[in-house]
Amino acid sequence: MKRLCLLAALAAGVAPAAAQESPGERLPVVRHVLPNGMTFLLLRRAGAPTASFVTHYRAGAVDEWTGISGTAHLFEHMLFKGSTVIGTNDLAAEQGLFPAIDAAADSFTAEFRRGAQADSATLQRLRDRLKQLEDSARAFAVSNELDRILTENGAQGLNASTSHDVTNYYFSLPANRAQLWFVLESDRLRHPVLREFYSEREVVMEERRLRTETQPFGMLYEEFLQAAFRAHPYGRPVVGLASEIQAVSRRSALEYFRRFYGPNNAVVAIVGDIDVEQMKQWATRYFGDLPAGEPHRPVVTQEPPQRGERRILVEFDANPLVMIGYHIPNVRHPDTPALSVLSQLLTGGRTSRLFQRLVVRDRVAAQISSFQAPGGLYPRLFAFQGVPIAPRTTADIETAVYEELERIQREPPTAEELQRVRNQIDASGIQRLQSSFGLAFQLSSSEALWGDWRQTFRDQAALAAVTAQDVQRVARTYFTATNRTVATLVRPAAAAPAPTEGGTR
């Protein structure tokens, strides 16, 4: 009785959020495009005297060609190694050693390519020689000088990340030091030197082991994408396949850079206590003379329609997990808002349908979540991830997910469910304006992916216009058994051999 009254009050107390402009779209962002195509999004806002800088390049793991997986990400690491000035105390001496180092790397790669026939003693000898040569070049390097300069100037959050679609670089500075970003960023973009390349390749292998090979979720996700995408590069891991990381050459990384890092592929957002006119002047002064590069060309490969359910097992010494994925269109498709609302209805919060059923009512799962991945530019997956509570199994989770999908295909979501989602959209539309860094990241990403910084705000606002019928329609369109990929993590049988060493020999 008490409960009914409450809910009635809820429905009456809150005005429905009509499809409207998101508050973000009204931000006074200044879009400044240099003649070479480099785009700057400048936003002055009140608050502490800080400035956040986020650059997105239209260059991701999908743009790699066969045999070099992981290069987009490895190059991202290399852009922190400096330039012809920053990072070295004798460029000529240092670069004079590069041909010998690259030759040693090629010899190693030639032996490595023999796979199972490779001679481990030879491999070790060649690896040692490579290390020795690179150490001799290190004598002329000023390792991590870029970090050092930024650290002494109080930079915060210096980092970068690579995804299937794009690569981004970012940090924040005290606002009075904004010019330092222009000096250093233009320098590393103009004259990058890929020093310490082969030891960084080893670092990336350790990153792969840290995030994928020693982690049940990481391993399952990699295999899940590989099963779902057989043609499109969304199936390749961003960090790279172990065998390819160990064979990437400095030449390939540089070639990747030349193809995709033209200023016309870069979008910079600067948000904080900034002088917008001054930023424009510096943009021209520091980046204006960079020659435009090749325009970014979308991947031509399309994933063919799936011709039947795909199920894989991933053996790993851990308790079971399951991922269930359905192919859906890219983000610009008109069905995207309804799919996002569906995701909220099913797994967004404790009152969502699958959480209520699997976690609260039946105690089948410790966790259930859904997400859309691995990118947004190309057709992708609507995926569920579940953690069963023994003795319940991943099959029990599958059953519940399929039943709830069928239920939503039959019965539309209630008005109250939709209102909850709309209210959450409303709140997050305001909350996402809170941090300068968060705003810079969103503006830069939206412009790089969709050619318009407002697009992400609009997409968010479009969710409010989704109707119960829209949700039902997309549930019927995409959630079929034929369109499904299921990956399950299972323990290897007791007699099975230990897991392999992930490609190293």
Partner 1 sequence: MRRALIFAALAAAVAAPALAAQDVRTEVQSLRYPALRFNPPTPKRLTLSNGVPVYLLEDHALPTLAVQIVSRRGVANVPDSLWGVAWQADGMLRTGGTTRLTPDSVDKLLEFYAINLFISTDHEQSTASVSGLARYRDQMLDLAFEVLRTPRNDTSRIRVTVGQQQESWRRRNDQPGPVLGRAWSQVVLGDHPLGRSLVTPDELAGFTPERFRWVQERLFCPQNLLIGVSGDFEERDLVRKLEALFRGWPVCKPGLRELPPVRYATGPRIVLVEKDVNQTNIRMGHPVPVRIADSPEYFASQVADFLLGGSGFTSRMLQRVRSDSGFAYSAFSSWGAEVDRDAVFFAGAQIRAEKTVAGLTLMRDVIRSMRTDPPTARDVQLARDNEVNSFVFRFESASQIVGQQLAYAVDGLPADWFDVYLRGIQAVTPEAVRQASERHLKPDELVMVIVGKPAAFDRPLAELGTVTMLPVDSIKR
Residue 318 C-beta: closest distance to partner 1, Å: 4
Residue 49 C-beta: closest distance to partner 1, Å: 5
Residues in 361-380 that interact with partner 1 by CB under 8 A: 363, 366
Residue 453 C-beta: closest distance to partner 1, Å: 19
Pick from 90, 289, 317, 406 the residue near partner 1 by CB under 8 A.
Answer: 317
Residue 332 C-beta: closest distance to partner 1, Å: 27
Residues in 475-494 that interact with partner 1 by CB under 8 A: none
Residues in 134-193 that interact with partner 1 by CB under 8 A: 135, 138, 143-144, 147-149, 151-156, 158, 172, 174-177, 179-180, 183-184, 187
Residues in 93-112 that interact with partner 1 by CB under 8 A: none
| C-beta of 181 vs 257, nearer to partner 1 | 181
Using an 8 Å Cβ cutoff, are 29 and 154 in contact? no
Using an 8 Å Cβ cutoff, are 471 and 342 in contact? yes
Q: Does 199 bind partner 1 (CB under 8 A)?
A: yes
Closest CA relative to residue 415, chosen from 5, 2, 17: 17
Q: Stretches 31-39, 263-271, 427-435, 447-455: which one binds partner 1 (CB under 8 A)? A: 427-435
Amino acid (one-letter) located at 494: A
Q: Which two tokens stand for residue 304?
A: 């063919």
> What's the rounded Cα separation, in Å, for the pair 382 and 372?
5
Q: Does 423 bind partner 1 (CB under 8 A)?
A: yes
Distant-in-sequence, close-in-space partners of 188: CB < 8 Å, separation ≥ 6: 79, 82, 83, 86, 146
> What's the rounded Cα separation, in Å, for the pair 268 and 58?
12
Q: Does 118 bind partner 1 (CB under 8 A)?
A: no
Query: Strand 380-388's sheet: what is its strand order?
Result: 310-315, 484-490, 321-328, 380-388, 365-373
Residue 155 C-beta: closest distance to partner 1, Å: 7
Pick from 435, 455, 477, 480 the residue near partner 1 by CB under 8 A.
Answer: 435
CA distances from 436 to 105, 240, 270 (A): 43, 32, 9
Residue 229 C-beta: closest distance to partner 1, Å: 26
Q: Does 200 bind partner 1 (CB under 8 A)?
A: yes
> What's the rounded Cα separation, in Å, for the pair 481 and 421?
27
Site map (CB under 8 A) of partner 1, residues 26-55, x = contact: --------------------xxxxx-----
Residue 314 host element (H or E): strand 310-315
